[in-house]
Amino acid sequence: MKNTNLKKNFIWNTIGVMTFSLTSLFYTIILMRFSTLKMTGIFSFGFTLACTTTALAALGGRTYQVTDVKNELSPFTYIISKFFTVSTVSIFILIFLLFRDYSFEKFIVVFLLCIFKYLEELSDVYYGIMQKEDKLYYVGIIQFIKSIVNIIVFLLTIMFLKNLIVSVISIVMVNFLFLLLLEMPIARKLNKWNHSTNRQQLLKYFKVNTTICVFTFLTMCLSNAPKYAIDVYLTDEIQAVFGIIIMPATVMILVCNFITNPILIQIANLYNDKKVKDIFKLFKKIILIIFLIGILGLIVAYFLGVPFLNIIYSSNFDKYKLELMIIILGSIFYAISTICSSFLTSIRKISIQLYMNIIFTVIAFIISFPLVKIYGITGGAISYLAVMFIRMLCYMIMTLRKLKGKV
C-alpha cells in the first residue's frame, strides 16, 4: 500500500470534508435570507430524509472499501453494487413519498434532494478508488470545488428565480456532471480495473455489507428521530428552526470525519498485523482530542452561539439558547460514538453494531415522539441528548472491551 502523500492527503481531505459538510449550512442560510421559513423547513426535512436513506444506498460505504487491504473484492464489484443499491433505493423512496400526504412542491423537493445525495454516494465509490491509490487529496480537491459550485448555483437560482424546485434541480445537475465528467475519468485513470465481476464476489459483498448498511441506516434514523417526530406533530416552520439549531452539531461530526478518514487504512493495517496495543493508544488519543474540542465548542456556543445564529440567519433565536446547548452536548456524545464505530468497523467488528443500533433506534423513536408531541422543540432537543448519551456509553464500553481483547 502506497503512503507517500500523507500530509497532502490530510490537508486536502480536511478542506474537502469541511466544505462538503458545511454545504447544508450554507443552503439553509441562503433559504432563510432569500426564501420563506416554510421553504427552509421543507428543505431541512428533505435533506435529512435524503441523508438517512443514503445510508441504504451506501451499502457499507467507503470505510469498508478502503480498508479492504487484501483486495478481496475488485473495484468493479464495488462500482456495480453501488449503482444497483442507488437505483433500488431511488425506487423505494419514490414509492414511500407517493404514500405521504405532502404537497406537490414538498414531494418534488424531497425526492430531488434524495437524488442529489444518491449521486454523491455514486461519487463516493470512485473516491474510494482514489483513496486506495494514495490520492485522497484528489478527493478533497474535488469535494471542495464541487461544494463551492453547488453553493454558488443554489444561491444564484434562489436569488433570481425564487423557485426551490429549480434550485434543487440545478444542484442535482452539478453533481451529475462532476460524476460523469471528472470523478469517473480520474478514478479510471488511476486504476485500470477489469469490467467484469462474478456472482460469488457480489454475493460476498452484499452479505458482508448488508450489516454495515443496516446499522448505518439505523444510526441516521436514531439521530434524526426528533425531525421525523416534528414532521408528524409540528409545522415546516418549526422544522426549519430545529434544523438550524441542530446545525452547529454537524461541526463535531465534521471533526470526526477529517480526523478518522486519513487513518482508516492505518487502523486496518495495524489490526491485520495484530498490533492491538497500538490501535488502543490511537483510540485513546483521538477520543481525548474529540472530548477537548467538544468542551471548547460548548463554551463558545454558550457565549456566542445564539448571537452567531442571529447574525448569519438574519433572525432571532434568543429563546432557543437552552435547546442549542442541549443539542451541542448531545453532538459530543454522538461524535465519540462515531469514532468508536469507525474503529470497530475498521477491525471488522460489525455484527455487534447492528444489534446495538436496532436497540438505540427503538429507544430513539420511543423517546422522541412523545417528547416532541408534549414539549415541542424542547422535547426534540432533550430526546436527542438522551439517545446520544446512551449510545455513546454503550459504544465506549464495547470498543474498549474489543480492543483490550476481553471478549
Output the CA–CA distances (angstroms, integers) from residue 341 to 82, 132, 329, 337, in the order listed. 22, 21, 19, 6
Output the CA–CA distances (angstroms, integers) from residue 96 to 92, 93, 344, in the order listed. 6, 5, 32
Asked whether residue 159 carries a pLDDT value surpassing 60, the answer given is yes
pLDDT number for residue 403: 75
Which of 283 and 363 is assigned the larger pLDDT? 363
Residue 104: burial class (beta carbons within 10 Å; 0-12, 13-18, 19+): exposed
pLDDT number for residue 210: 84
pLDDT number for residue 30: 96
Work out the percent of the chain whose per-residue pLDDT is above 90.
56
Output the CA–CA distances (angstroms, integers) from residue 54 to 51, 141, 155, 211, 217, in the order listed. 5, 22, 24, 15, 8
pLDDT number for residue 406: 42
- Crossing angle of helices 377-404 and 236-245, in 10° steps, is 40
On average, the pLDDT of the chain sits at 88
Output the CA–CA distances (angstroms, integers) from residue 294 to 15, 34, 161, 279, 297, in the order listed. 20, 32, 40, 22, 5
| Closest to 121 measured CA to CA, from 169, 168, 85, 166 | 85
What's the start-to-end Cα distance of the chain, in Å?
A: 30
- The stretch 260-281 carries a mean pLDDT of 74
Q: Are 77 and 205 in contact (CB under 8 A)?
A: yes
Q: How confident is the model at residue 142 (pLDDT cuts 50, 70, 90)?
A: very high
Q: How confident is the model at residue 262 (pLDDT cuts 50, 70, 90)?
A: low
pTM comes to: 0.85
- The stretch 184-192 carries a mean pLDDT of 93
Which residues in 356-383 are b (16+ Cβ under 10 Å) and which e? bbeebbebbbebbbebbeeebbebbbbb
Asked whether residue 407 carries a pLDDT value surpassing 60, the answer given is no
- The stretch 321-347 carries a mean pLDDT of 88
Range with the lowest mean pLDDT among 19-28, 137-146, 209-218, 342-351? 342-351
Output the CA–CA distances (angstroms, integers) from residue 396 to 179, 201, 343, 344, 401, in the order listed. 37, 33, 11, 11, 8
Asked whether residue 108 carries a pLDDT value surpassing 70, the answer given is yes
What is the residue-wise DSSP string for 56-106? HHHTTHHHHHHT-TT--S-HHHHHHHHHHHHHHHHHHHHHHHHTS---HHH
C-alpha grid cell for residue 77? 464489484
User: How many other CB atoms sit within 10 Å of the CB of residue 220?
Assistant: 20
Which of 98 and 63 is assigned the larger pLDDT? 98
- Coil, strand or helix: which one is 275? coil
Long-range contacts of residues 6-9, Cβ cutoff 8 Å, at least 24 apart: 6/262, 8/137, 9/134, 9/135, 9/136, 9/137, 9/140, 9/262
* CA 369 to mean position of chain CA atoms: 23
Q: Amino acid letter at 21?
A: S
Q: Are 321 and 355 in contact (CB under 8 A)?
A: no
